[in-house]
Structure 1
Amino acid sequence: MTDERIIEAWDGSRIPARRIDPRRLLAHDTAHKLVDQARTLQELLRDEKLKLYAEVDAYLDIVLESYGARLGGSRGGLRIEAIDGVRKVEVSVTDYQSVTAAIEAARVLMNEILDDLVGDASDDLRAIVGNAFARNSKTGKISTERVLSLRQLNLSHPKWPQAKDAISDAVITAGSKRYMRFHERDTPHSPWKQIDLNFSSL
C-alpha cells in the first residue's frame, strides 16, 4: 500500500513519503511515536505528583487541625514515618537563587580592588574572584554560591565594604521548590533505600 503522506522537513520543505528512503522514514515515524509516548508518560507523572503532594498537604492539615493550629500558608519540610519503621516519606523545600544587575557592579569593584592590590594579590586570589563570576559553559549561569563565598574574604581596601554590599545585593532568592523522597527498608534496623523515580535509572 502506497504511503500518501506528505512529510514536512526541518527546513520547511514538504516531501512525499513515497520518495523518502524507507529506513529514514522508519526513523522519522519511530521518533515521533516514542516522543508521543514520553509526553503521555510525562503528563501521567505530573498528575501523580500533584496527587502525592495533595496527600501530604491533607495529612499536614489534619495534624495542624488536631493541635488547633492555623491551616494553609507556607508548607516547609517534614518527615512522615510508618510505625513499623520500614517506610518513610521526606518532604523538603529548597530555595533557588538568581543574580541581579548588581553582579556587574560587584565584578567591577572586585577587579578594581585586585588591580590596586596587584602587588599583594596572589594568583590564587585572582582565580577565586575570576571563578566566582565565570559563567557555566553549558547553562550560561553564574554560580550564586561562588559569588556569595567572596564575602568571606578579608581584604584591606577602602572599596571592600562597597564590594561586599554589591555582592550581597547581586544574589536574591527567586523562589523555592518542593521535593518529595520515598524510602523503605527490610527491617527497622536495615539501611534506608530511596525509591528511585528517575526514568533513566529504572
Structure 2
Amino acid sequence: MSKNNAMPGFMLNAVGHYVPESMVEPIDKQRDQLVKELLSKATDVKSALVEFKNSAFADIAAFIELSAEEYNTKVGGKKGNVTLYSFDGQYKVQFAVAEKIKFDERLQVAKNLIDECIKAWSEGSSPEIQVLVQSAFETDKEGNLNHGRILSLRRYAIKDERWQRAMLAISESIQVVGSKQYVRFYQRREGTDQYDAISLDFASV
C-alpha cells in the first residue's frame, strides 16, 4: 500500500507504521493537518513562481528580438545583461546571465608559484600580505574555492616574475562550465533616483 494512501481509520507515522486514529492525540492530528495544508499552499506558490520566472524570461527575450527588428537585425547568442525601464522611470527590470566558472589543473601550478613567492618574501613581506594570499585558496565546508578571492589576486601590481606567471596561470585556468539567468525587479524610491528591489524571496518579505 502506498504511503500516500493510508488505510481508513489509520494514520501513517514517520517510520511507516499505520496507527489507529483513536490512538493519535488530537494535537498531533491538528499539527499534521496544519503542516500538510501549509505544504500544499507552498507547493502552489512555488509552481506559480516557476511559471512566472519562465514567462518573464520568455517575454524579455521576445522584447529584445522585437527591439532588434527595429534595426533590421537579430540578436545572436544568449540574451543577457539588459535593463528595461518603464516609460515614467518608476520601475526597472534587470535581466542578467551569470557565467559559472571552474579552475582546471593550472590553478595548482599558480598555487605552487605563489607558495614560492611567499617563501622568498617571508623575511621582507608583512604577515598581512601572506595571510591575504594564502586565504584566497581556502575552501568552504563543502571543499569549494572562493572564485572571487582567487581572481582578486590579479589586481596586485607585484613585479616578481614568479607572481606574474602565477597570475597568467590563474587566468588561463578559468573554464566557463555553464551559465545561469537572473531577472530582478525594482521600484524607484519616491523623490529620489534610487531603486529598491522588489523581493521575491520568502524570507525577505
Classify the secondary structure of the residue corresponding to 1:73: coil
Q: Structure 2 vs 1, CA of residues 186 and 157 (structure 1 numbering), >3 Å: closer, same or farther?
A: closer
Following superposition of structure 1 onto structure 2, how do residues 139-154 of structure 1 map, counting pairs within 5 Å?
139-154=142-157
Following superposition of structure 1 onto structure 2, how do residues 169-184 of structure 1 map, counting pairs within 5 Å?
169-184=172-187
The yes-or-no answer on 1:195 pairing with 2:166 is no
TM-score of the superposed pair, with normalisation by structure 1: 0.77
1:51 deviation in Å?
0.8
Q: Which runs of 5+ in 2 are unaligned?
A: 1-7
Contact kept, 8 Å, 1:88 with 1:183, in 2: the verdict is yes
User: For residue 127 of structure 1, what is the aligned residue in structure 2?
Assistant: 131
Q: Structure 2 vs 1, CA of residues 169 and 33 (structure 1 numbering), >3 Å: closer, same or farther?
A: farther
RMSD: 3.0
User: For residue 89 of structure 2, what is the aligned residue in structure 1?
Assistant: 85
Number of aligned residue pairs: give it.
196
Write the deviation string for residues 10-56 of structure 1: whole angstroms up to 9, x where unpaired: xxxx3333466665565455444433432332122111111111111
1:197 deviation in Å?
1.6
Deviates more, 1:77-86 or 1:187-196: 187-196
Write the deviation string for residues 91-111 of structure 1: whole angstroms up to 9, x where unpaired: 233333223333333223322
**In the aligned structure 2, how far is the partner of 1:124 from the partner of 1:29?**
57
Deviates more, 1:43-52 or 1:75-84: 75-84
Q: Which amino acid is the alignment partner of residue 16 of structure 1? A: Y
User: For residue 18 of structure 2, what is the aligned residue in structure 1?
Assistant: 16
Contact kept, 8 Å, 2:158 with 2:164, in 1: the verdict is no
1:134 deviation in Å?
0.8
TM-score of the superposed pair, with normalisation by structure 2: 0.76
